[in-house]
Amino acid sequence: MAFVAFLFLIISFLSLKDRTIALASSSCVSQSNNVEFTLSTASHSASNPTSSCSLQQCNITSSDNLTCSLSPTPCFNYRTANNISYCAPAIHCPVLQPCNSVTSTCASNDSVCIVNSCCSPTAVCLPLLTTNFCIREILTKDHLVLFIRFLLLGWSMTASMIVGRYGHTASTLLDGKVLVTGGYGSSGNLNSAELYDPSTDVWTQTGNMNVARYRHTASTLLNGKVLVTGGAGSSGYLNSAELYDPSTGVWTQTGNMSFARDLHAASTLLDGKVLVTGGFGSSGYLNSAELHDPSTGVWTQTGNMNVARDVHTASTLLNGKVLVTGGAGSSGYLNSAELYDPSTGVWTQTGNMSFARDLHAASTLLDGKVLVTGGFGSSGYLNSAELYDPSTGVWTQTGNMSFARELHTASTLLDGKVLVTGGYNGTIAWNSTELY
């Protein structure tokens, strides 16, 4: 158990290398300032002598419904302006950004405003990532095995889909569920769709699409609906598009794209429009891009990419730009990446990935980085994963998936984890899923 705790602390420090976490009865240094958190004589509390403040330490039988037990790091009770509690380790205030003093909110969606921290009277933004370090459930022996596996690999198995499929899409809905659509399975092209509920680890069927398709795209719109575009079907390359309404489970058709394309990519922009890029059509590899306006259902063309490519990914970054990665082109597998600026319609090149890959998946994480997983390259099917940092334009490798797979999907969940579903490994259509 001590070894597990040691691993947990090491990983915690590595993943928060720009923030300082202080254990009880120990000191740390941040921005040339020393701070020490010590367990006080009062029951279930901790104090920081340098700022004369105290925090209630979380416990198993908390009377305020706050339970953060069995974490190797002592966890404390942080509260918001509307009296919501969060469990997190003691944190040195100078590393945190101040909240908006009027609205008690944070500019970043991955932080929460804390008003009664040791940074009082200044309200600060507590990164939600730090709250994940305080386990909210009692671990059984079986849980501990899974916990150790999570520490060592970063991935864990979850419930299987109802239908094995590849070349499908997965979209995180506004209620946190994940919608999987279409693809190719044992019966051929699929128009079926199913929903995954992360809170129960259960899959359920929902309404079928109007058109059976695979190698299409699906984008969650700001109004909560999902836009599916293009792909391949019984009639060949498709330019059709349709909308899914989560409130009814019904699909309706919308305006067609300017070009029939499959193996393309799509991204929902911060203004609500959807950018579709590249793919393959009757003329071969495409570098064209077009925009869908949900308010009108109309498509308009925008600037072309620098490289014609298909089976690539496109991810909307927190700064509003779109990152396109890899794919295949006339020169073979690609490791190149480029950025689209919606304000100008112009594409610029950025750092190359560590591996040339196509048929991979990409997810924008809550910290703004982009996780790229799997795909196919010169060495065959890939289980490798790497992270792109928009602040530097640099890629770094991270933990490998349990299975090598292509034509899978990867969805960022509301708790910050990434759900990978399905895919193909050269032999079968996977129905396996795993979490990063």
pLDDT per residue as tens digits for the range 215-250:
899 999 988 999 999 999 999 999 999 999 999 999
Residue 149 lies in a domain: no
Q: Both 102 and 16 in a single domain?
A: yes
Residue 276 lies in a domain: yes
Q: Both 22 and 134 in a single domain?
A: yes
Residue 199 lies in a domain: yes
Q: Both 55 and 89 in a single domain?
A: yes
Rounded Cα distance, 257 and 291, in Å: 9
Q: Both 373 and 269 in a single domain?
A: yes
371-426 confidence digits (pLDDT tens): 999 999 999 999 999 999 999 999 999 999 999 999 898 988 888 899 998 888 88
Q: Both 189 and 134 in a single domain?
A: no
Answer yes or no: are the C-beta atoms of 277 and 258 closer than 8 Å: no
Q: 167 pLDDT band (50/70/90 cuts)?
A: confident
Comparing 171-175, 200-204, 272-276, 284-288, the range with the smallest average pLDDT is: 171-175
Q: Both 21 and 99 in a single domain?
A: yes
Comparing 30-39, 106-115, 289-298, 368-377, the range with the smallest average pLDDT is: 30-39
Q: Both 233 and 204 in a single domain?
A: yes
Q: Both 179 and 34 in a single domain?
A: no
Residue 147 lies in a domain: no
Residue 148 lies in a domain: no
Rounded Cα distance, 206 and 32, in Å: 56
Tally of domains within the chain: 2
Q: Both 193 and 77 in a single domain?
A: no
Q: What pLDDT is attached to residue 146?
A: 36
37-81 confidence digits (pLDDT tens): 455 444 344 555 555 556 666 553 434 445 554 444 566 777 787
Domain end call among 79, 106, 140? 140
Q: Both 83 and 117 in a single domain?
A: yes
5-28 confidence digits (pLDDT tens): 333 322 332 332 222 333 334 333
Task: Tell whether pTM > 0.75.
Answer: no
Q: What pLDDT is attached to residue 56?
A: 63
Calculate the average pLDDT of the chain.
79
Residue 299 lies in a domain: yes
Q: What pLDDT is attached to residue 50?
A: 55
Domain end call among 109, 140, 171? 140
pLDDT at 323 over 90: yes
**Residue 431 belongs to domain with CATH number:** 2.120.10.80
Number of residues written out for the chain: 436
Domain range enclosing 136: 2-140
Residue 212 lies in a domain: yes
Q: What pLDDT is attached to residue 2?
A: 32
Domain end call among 140, 169, 184? 140
Q: Both 65 and 185 in a single domain?
A: no
Residue 264 lies in a domain: yes
Q: What pLDDT is attached to residue 204?
A: 97
Q: 130 pLDDT band (50/70/90 cuts)?
A: low
Between 334 and 36, name the one with better pLDDT: 334
pLDDT at 313 over 70: yes
Q: Both 131 and 271 in a single domain?
A: no
